[in-house]
Structure 1
């Protein structure tokens, strides 16, 4: 999965000399919380609602409403933006983007292609990507297979059992519980129990409880 597969395109931007009140209006009108700052085609920063709140006078200030409005009309994006902005290339993997965001405790990365801004990737985009790869919205059954001793060909064996049962695997993920690998497969709904077939073949398997609860709700 690449960043380009899940990034938000058609990004609204502002220039460093844009007035703060204009940037705020742009965010409100577009229902967004951050704007890349571009100067002469180059990304020079990013401005977020938090940046603006940190820079503008608070409600506890002794300034009058007229003085506050005057300050806001004078302040520009350059006065509030984060200048040390991290970026990611559109061809990099989604995991690379997540790693950078986690390392720097940030919720957005401008996405570049040959030095040109082509999109942004946000926490919400990454959550949408997770729902997409897990087929969350697709009807079916989630089966967990617990592999305590990993071995070559185990995924093939699981796939063979589901195929012989006439059931299609929609998605497959591998996670860890300590030293145990958990192979979680999302399969088509069927009359046959895939979990039972896997148990009969010697696997430790069960239908996922969290999926059962979601179906009930």
Structure 2
């Protein structure tokens, strides 16, 4: 999966000389947590709601004078933005973008193509992709299998699902589950789960855990 499939397009932006009060109003009006800062077509920074909270005094703070509030109202985006933000391309693999965000503790990355801002990828976008990959929004059975590390074992597993006419809605692989096995988790739909279970065991595949229709059981 690539960033372009999950990024938010038509991104709102602000200019570096825009007052912070206007930036805050824009973000609150559109319910966004981060906004790129643009000078013409050039990306020069990014501002988060946390940046705003740190830079702007609270009107409820009794120690803040009217003069300080007035001065705060003249603060511009350039003063508090994170300059020269790290960006990704629409063709960047989603896991690479997620790793960048995790490593640098970013909540989002601006997406740039040929020097133009074309989108933004956020934590929410990453979570949505994760849910889609796991088939979380679709009904079905979730099965964890301990599968030998060999290619033959993985092929045999997929043949069982094909034989039992199961639709695979999502799949993840944890290759370092143990020294001898990888852990494969699948979300599947089909009419005969009992047949599937029997066929998996018959093929020498170990069911670690199975969850279906609100019930969970460990197969051992």
Does residue 172 of structure 1 match 2:171? yes
- TM superposition shift of 1:45: 0.4
Deviation of the 1:189 alpha carbon = 3.4
- Structure 2 CA distance, aligned partners of 1:62 and 1:166? 69
> 2-side partners of 1:92 and 1:15: how far apart?
27
Match of 2:193 in 1: 192
The 8 Å contact of residues 143 and 195 in structure 1, kept in 2 or not, is answered as: no
Instruction: Give 1:206 shift.
Output: 4.5
Taking the aligned partners of 1:119 and 1:101, their CA distance within structure 2 comes to: 16
Q: Give the number of equivalent residue pairs.
A: 212
SS at match of 2:193: coil
Q: Within 1, Cα distance between the matches of 2:69 and 2:191?
A: 64
Q: Is there any run of 5+ residues in structure 1 with no aligned partner, and where?
A: none
Aligned-partner SS, 2:99: helix
Contact kept, 8 Å, 1:172 with 1:183, in 2: the verdict is yes
Contact 2:57-2:69 within 8 A present in 1 as well: no
Residues 139, 189 of structure 1: 8 Å contact kept: no
Q: Which runs of 5+ in 2 are unaligned?
A: none
Name 2:3's counterpart in structure 1.
Answer: 3
Q: Tell me the equivalent position of 1:81.
A: 81
Deviation string, structure 1 residues 105-127 (Cα, Å, up to 9, x no partner)? 11110001101000000011000
Contact 1:196 1:205 in 2 (8 A): no
How far is the alpha carbon of 1:184 from its aligned partner? 1.2
